[in-house]
Amino acid sequence: MKSFDAIVIGGGQAGPFLAARMVEKGMKVALIERKFLGGTCVNAGCMPTKTLVASARAAHVARSGAVYGVNIPGEIAIDMKVVRARAETVTMNARNGLIGWFAGMDGMTVIYGHARFEGPKTVSVNGETLTAPRIFLNVGARPVIPDLPGVNEIDYLTSTSIIDLDTLPRHLAVIGGSYIGLEFAQMYRRFGAEVSVIEHGPKLASREDEDISDAIADVLRSEGIDIHTGASDIAFAKSSDGITVATDSARIDASHVLIATGRKPNTDDLGLDAAGVITDGRGFITVDDKLATNVDGIWALGDCNGHGAFTHTSYNDFEIAAANLLDGDDRKLSSRILAYALYIDPPLGRVGMTEKQARASGHKILISTRPMSRVGRANERGETKGFMKVIADAETKKILGAAILGIEGDEVIHGIIDAMNAGTTYPALQWSVPIHPTVSELIPTLLGDLKPV
């Protein structure tokens, strides 16, 4: 049995950085990863997909050149092998950077293999048993494949496998109208594929307010994406030239099917029972406000704890754990204000409550909206789709939430994120003097239009 001061299981966005901090403190740490360092973000999420999004946007801008007086003769052609290779390069640079970083750390032992608990302080990997007083789980999540008729009879794609695609689909059917599915839908439409989105629920991006959801659908439809919401009785069958996707109201002749119906935590094969670690009904590891599980000396970080399926929330889990365990701080998960983005083009930047949540919470609320067509930067760039929306508490004057669907919305939202984290009231933010011409300069104007509902 090999002894360590700490064992980290999973090489995603929380575990490796926590392992590095512990090594800096002179601890002996084992980092166990079953496949690739970097987790979903580096290998099958943010980095490769946003690289693909950039290629798709380049194609879209090239096709739109004539509007700006830039004439490009001939058809805009897409070399999918180059597109894929570029995404792979970005991933490998990041992954190899982590490998090199850890190789230079005294006190760090990186082990590739599948770890399982043998008890609350011991894990087995590659036939060896390791023990440590502190064990951190950062095992991530994977795509969920629903039990739909015919699904096991077709060669479907997931958000992981589609990244390796180096040919252009004739017609891509996307099952699931949430964030991952919508990003791939627009991306492949811009590459030149026919695209259909099939969503069981009544609207796309079901987490969002109805006006945001409707605007997202308008953006995608404007680019020729076929959207089917409220779809039931979804079934698949092989056809002579691809896959037939049938619903209660549509029949789609697809060449490829992407199943993007959610993700589930990688907790079912860790031997959690042997350690006594509790999970909820969906398999997420139950943690307290400081990310500790019910078993003393075991913590769960990142996607596997169900408190944010994002790279930035996973990294923040590392920050919370490191601050509390290594720096004598008292940071809490409940202090985090959730923010995220949807990377269609234009992107959606979101923070805090939706209007629906704010109304349900009992707050006396103020709301303001402003179309992107009234934003100078958007008009100058010829990208006026979408709108801004902010919700505030009429009594405390604090901002409760905001959504910016529009050009640079994923960046502009940070002005509001920062204000909310600092506890700044919206009247104080109104007095800021933003730079012209930017999208952010409309935030004071947006706040000035807040009205009771």
Residue 256 and residue 113 share a domain: no
Residue 222 and residue 283 share a domain: no
Residue 292 and residue 251 share a domain: no
Residue 404 neighbours by CB distance under 10 Å: 34
Domain-ending residue, one of 313, 335, 357: 335
Residue 420 and residue 285 share a domain: no
Domain total in the chain: 3
CATH of the domain at 101: 3.50.50.60
Residue 138 and residue 31 share a domain: yes
- Per-residue pLDDT 10s for the chain (453 aa) are 999 999 999 999 999 999 999 999 999 999 999 999 999 999 999 999 999 999 999 999 999 999 999 999 999 999 999 999 999 999 999 999 999 999 999 999 999 999 999 999 999 999 999 999 999 999 999 999 999 999 999 999 999 999 999 999 999 999 999 999 999 999 999 999 999 999 999 999 999 999 999 999 999 999 999 999 999 999 999 999 999 999 999 999 999 999 999 999 999 999 999 999 999 999 999 999 999 999 999 999 999 999 998 999 999 999 999 999 999 999 999 999 999 999 999 999 999 999 999 999 988 999 999 999 999 999 999 999 999 999 999 999 999 999 999 999 999 999 999 999 999 999 999 999 999 999 999 999 999 999 999
Please tell me the distance from the alpha carbon of residue 155 to that of residue 258, in angstroms, as a whole number: 10
> Which pLDDT score, from 0 to 100, does residue 416 have?
97
Catalytic residue among 200, 256, 307, 436: 436
Residue 123 and residue 13 share a domain: yes
Residue 378 and residue 344 share a domain: yes
Residue 130 and residue 44 share a domain: yes
The question of whether 256 is a catalytic residue gets the answer no
Tokens, residue 360: 């349900």
Residue 253 and residue 118 share a domain: no
Please tell me the distance from the alpha carbon of residue 430 to that of residue 443, in angstroms, as a whole number: 8
Residue 357 and residue 444 share a domain: yes
> Which pLDDT score, from 0 to 100, does residue 363 have?
87
Tokens, residue 380: 């100058």
CB contact at 8 A, 314 and 303: yes
CB contact at 8 A, 302 and 15: yes
Residue 443 and residue 416 share a domain: yes
CB contact at 8 A, 205 and 177: yes
Give the range of the structural domain holding residue 331, as residue numbers without chain letter.
Answer: 2-142+264-335
Domain-ending residue, one of 261, 279, 296: 261
For the question of whether the overall pTM of this predicted structure is more than 0.85, the answer is: yes
